[in-house]
Structure 1
């Protein structure tokens, strides 16, 4: 058996997807960004049930209601992880179970982009599931143990995100709510609104892009909405650009951003202006 080296030519010819997270305060229009994506090849994964802003968007959607639904979708999309044993989630066994439930996985071939709204609510579904597991009960008195539940939450969420990240030919955008908080020195900072700390800490290392949709207030002129894309930004927003193609501030249009990231097929041809 030959060493499975992937040549430079083969690697450069591979179809790759952008993996990113879009965060921002409520009410700024994160879900509305769906209008800028191609409805023929985008699947809206509506976990939050907050689709009023895109009620008439002409694309397809899924509505996972449980953490099991979210995991089944991930393995159905990304395929099995050969490193895992039977009985583990995201293993060959789990993949076969998902195929029995949903049918032929090629039904997802038509979708190039997954728009998952939101990772905040996915975390709540996961935490609810974790609180019912044996790890969330004390070995001493069998009473609820939140430390065990939070530990399991971090493991589950990171495994879910990592598996979706390995769906190499798909673009995946996670939407999340951004909180503004104050530390003990009365300094303001921003962080992803999600149960537990492990997911928020590890998420930037999993995805390619971290984009904050923010209202920028310049020294002169009117405030305006924009995507903040660089880690080193004067507002302290969470951001990251692994591609090196984005400016510090970009127009608040996800389709246009995808074109700049080298994925023009993900953008809608006749999207309404989002500025």
Structure 2
């Protein structure tokens, strides 16, 4: 593919402008319901959890995904062939043509081209599906004994997930939102920290470097001074957006436009990241402020 220069105006256009986000939160905080704040005619949910019950009143489309192979095929359809890969590799031109032919009668490729927002629910389940895939590959077995090799499986898991996420990251004009489980871990010295729940350590380590924004979703209340504080008994949801926050939650704001916490409205959040006026919030969002 020939190199080309992208001007500032092009970079801000709908074709080039995009954002990638990872949103983590504890089970039950309402991560999946964030999709209800996205425009139904622009977003599609990649449903890896079979968990659309909580958002059944959202009228946008979803695609159930039961295996890592299916997820990879979707990523290839969205991102096209990778010119850096061998033509016969999964992300090369040959396999891309195979996937196009495989789904030619379904209209899936044209449908995905018409969607500018990909909502992946969840990256936690994606890594579990990838682990199930990795355990069946040759690298997951010892060449000497033929017995399962856990280290080989985890190594393959990390490489496959990271390659898929990076390929999706390069898709033109696609905003990608990953949601995942956040858990509190206490080490042997009694120190606690919040970490994303994912199979394998490689994907968890590298994901924050791949995406533009990392957000943590938690329940908050206000103290006597009116400041936000974590409160598991509250019903007020907030997105923590900046690293170095006082709660020790994973966060990163590459745009530099977000406050320490923001309301759980992804459409308004994306507009703020891009420096645009926030759209009118849909009526089915809970706790918008």
Written as runs of structure 1 = structure 2, the 5 A alignment for 1:136-155 is: 136-155=140-159
Which position in structure 2 is the counterpart of 1:68? 69
* Residue 182 (structure 2) pairs with residue 170 (structure 1): no
Match for 2:254 among 227, 237, 242? 242
* Residue 53 (structure 2) pairs with residue 41 (structure 1): no
Separation (CA, whole Å) in 2 of partners of 1:78 and 1:268 = 30
TM-score with structure 2 setting the length: 0.89
Higher relative contact order structure (alpha carbons within 8 Å, sequence separation ≥ 6): 1
Tell me how large the CA RMSD over aligned residues is.
2.1
* Residue 255 (structure 2) pairs with residue 251 (structure 1): no
Which position in structure 2 is the counterpart of 1:213? 217
Which position in structure 2 is the counterpart of 1:30? 31
* Residue 230 (structure 2) pairs with residue 229 (structure 1): no
- Which structure 1 segments of 5+ residues have no match? none
The C-alpha deviation readout for 1:79-111, integer Å capped at 9, x for no partner, is 110010022111111211110112263332221
How many residues of Structure 1 are paired with residues of Structure 2 in the alignment?
274
SS at structure 2 position matched to 1:82: coil
Distance apart, 1:179 and its partner CA? 0.9
Pair 1:199–1:70, CA change in 2 (3 A)? same
Separation (CA, whole Å) in 2 of partners of 1:42 and 1:149 = 33
Separation (CA, whole Å) in 2 of partners of 1:266 and 1:167 = 24
TM-score with structure 1 setting the length: 0.93
- Which structure 2 segments of 5+ residues have no match? none
SS at structure 1 position matched to 2:98: helix
Pair 1:249–1:140, CA change in 2 (3 A)? same
Which position in structure 2 is the counterpart of 1:120? 124
Which position in structure 1 is the counterpart of 2:96? 95
Distance apart, 1:180 and its partner CA? 0.6
SS at structure 1 position matched to 2:39: coil
Pair 1:120–1:96, CA change in 2 (3 A)? same
Separation (CA, whole Å) in 2 of partners of 1:81 and 1:197 = 25
Q: Is 1:77–1:167's contact at 8 Å kept on the other side of the alignment? A: yes
Distance apart, 1:7 and its partner CA? 4.4
Q: Is 1:38–1:266's contact at 8 Å kept on the other side of the alignment? A: no
Which position in structure 2 is the counterpart of 1:77? 78
* Residue 202 (structure 2) pairs with residue 202 (structure 1): no
Q: Is 1:178–1:192's contact at 8 Å kept on the other side of the alignment? A: yes
